Structure 1
Amino acid sequence: MSPTLLAFPKSTDKKPVQIDLTYQHPDPEVQEEYEDSSSESEPNFKKSETRLEKRNNTSNRNSSIGLSGSNTQSKWALGGLACTMPSHGAVGLKTQLGFLGQGTLSSVHINKDGWIYGQRLIFHTNNIPNQSLFRKVSFVRADTQPITLRVNQDQVIGQGSMRITYKAVVKIVEGNGEVTLVDYVAKKRFHDLTPSIEKHATDALMYEASALLLDSFKKVLSRCRALHKAYRKKLQLLEVIRHAVVVTGDVDIPSKVYFIEAALKGKYVKYSSNTDFNVDEEEEGIDPIICRLMNTFTHWSYHESAGQQLICDLQGVGPIITDPQIIDVDQ
């Protein structure tokens, strides 16, 4: 199948933007996910929790930069809790954050109880041109990779002012037919009249920018010789949650668009919002050391950018951050 280039117009009249999607034919191993599973031999199902915990314990650090090997894309969901992020590249951190923080633009019948064959969007955020800080880009490119998931819309995990969150499962089929199920959550915007990639893509780029900023913060703080061992140890645990934008149906006119995240187990806490930064360290579920590191991260982002940017809305389970936001005086 030849590559297809698609454009999604931005909803605002002032700054038209588009996301270009290119279809990438899956590898033979990945293609097996699409074959009928009702064969003579039933696949072997493994419990994802044990494998996921093992991956987290042995390669949590490496999960921030992705996996390697021929089966990379099919194993993306097994990469642990930490999100992927752009490489630092040749341009400065300020240029990368400026590019990622600009925002983006803007069928099949699906059985909600069955498996969905969707496309995971992989945004081109490496090799950002040096002039991106000074001019608005007209598009963000993305590739697609197949993903199989099941969204349980009868099991609502949470709901905010803009999105509702459902329990979800991602299925990985190995080359030998072995199936692994990994727990995720799927977020859907319920105010959109039609499924839209635009706002979910903007969220994904915000996550990537936050991960890039966090990585720089960890490198700077880890060089501090006076940093206590307990803080140094927990500093390395700070990560932005693994996430992706998933489109189902035709990418031209998607039937559903989800923002999926690795499922977190434990007490969900807020370390800061975009207005309240006075968090009680004695609150249930809050680790005082992690809370202080989160506050330091926010403070550092403000001074590192000379008062131009500030990361906030730091929340999640333990050291894993979800839904971060970066306030920018120019955006």
Structure 2
Amino acid sequence: MAEPADCAGTHASFRDVGKSKRTKTPTPSPYARTARPAPPPPPINDQIKLVNCGIVLYQLDKLKRTGIMCRMLQVNVLQPNLYLSLQRQLWELFSPSLLSKNLVESLPQDFLPHTNLSHKKNVIDPETLAMLLGQSTIKKPVQIDITYQENIDELENDNTDNVESNLSSADATDSHTPPVPASDNPRPETPTPRLTRSAALANSQSTALPNSASTPLATAIRGTDARWALGGVTGTVPARGPASLSTHMNFLGRPVSSASIDLNPEGWVVAERLKFNHQDARGRQSSSLARYQHLQATTCPLTIKVDKTTIVGQGSMRKAFAALVKTDGHNGGPPRITNWVAKVGIHDEYPTINPHATKARMYKACGHVLRAFQLIINRCTSLLLNDTIRQKIKAFELVRHCVAFVGDSICPVDVYFLEASLPGD
């Protein structure tokens, strides 16, 4: 019987040698581990949340209705300092509306101590804000409001500090007087300016005064100086602010000269409005008086500001300037400002009341004639007067007007014929 051929499979030793030759010796160093893949960023739909935002106003610890409409905003939940960023964004969005709607007199320089983010009238912290934003959806956006609590005392003290700081910086430019620091601990180099109602109105209206919509458009002014007489009978403790006692003593120890007084910096003057007396003292019409007897008139105070650098119109006899009239607020509210036009004579050598009074009497006469004409047309039954013509005649109106002078009635400083500012160019 023949023996089988020798092969590696029949001998275990040869099989082990072949196996060891085919196996690589592992390196002593550890094997390199493959890095775990980074988690994918969340989709854009999860980063951007739709939020319904508004503003809540508290005055004297009482909630006040603002009438400011809410806004729908897109908020990135991954942005750094989410709470502070959203708080600043909402303040910049809604704070001008507080001034334009006459809800507050002025706004603080630093809004952070006076504001918070809230949800359903409850103040929230950054962790709660993140949780609420996570629950916000497109169909049901969460409501996040900024709550502003006005502190009138702090605003008035802050206003006084600003005035003192401005005076100190203005005196520092005087070559005859050494500069005095505004405070022992100086403020930051670039303070945030206070936003007032007039500034908000200037930002919202890029046009000049004559291009305003109409006379009823009015804005309230700063009432700090106007309410000065209502501050009580004591004035022992003035608002000192952050300045030290020595700073105030050095500031008040300097003399005051007539050249350093800024008279009427805002340009408001108290004029006298001419008012004709159509009835005598006993309440009867003055038709029984002598024909050529002088017409009696009285005056009423009127606070006006005329911008003589802005000419809104000019003819052959008169030119018109942009003007403002300040009126006391209703029921003790803030004063209001309305737009007017102040006309002066071009050829007048000196201000005089007679030409403007003559024009005012002519306006009065035209008003009576127009009224009588409208009554006649209303009673007329002619078929020639259709509804279109009647409506046009009924729409005729005489512009509101008056004569205002500054100074003495015999030798006035300025005399203006005021007319209400009409819409359009």
Find the structure with the greater CA-based Rg.
2
Task: Give the number of the structure with larger relative contact order, counting CA–CA contacts within 8 Å between residues 6 or more apart.
Answer: 1
Larger strand proportion of the pair = 1
Instruction: Name whichever structure is richer in helix by fraction.
Output: 2
* TM-score of the pair, normalised by structure 1: 0.46
- Report the TM-score when normalising by structure 2: 0.36
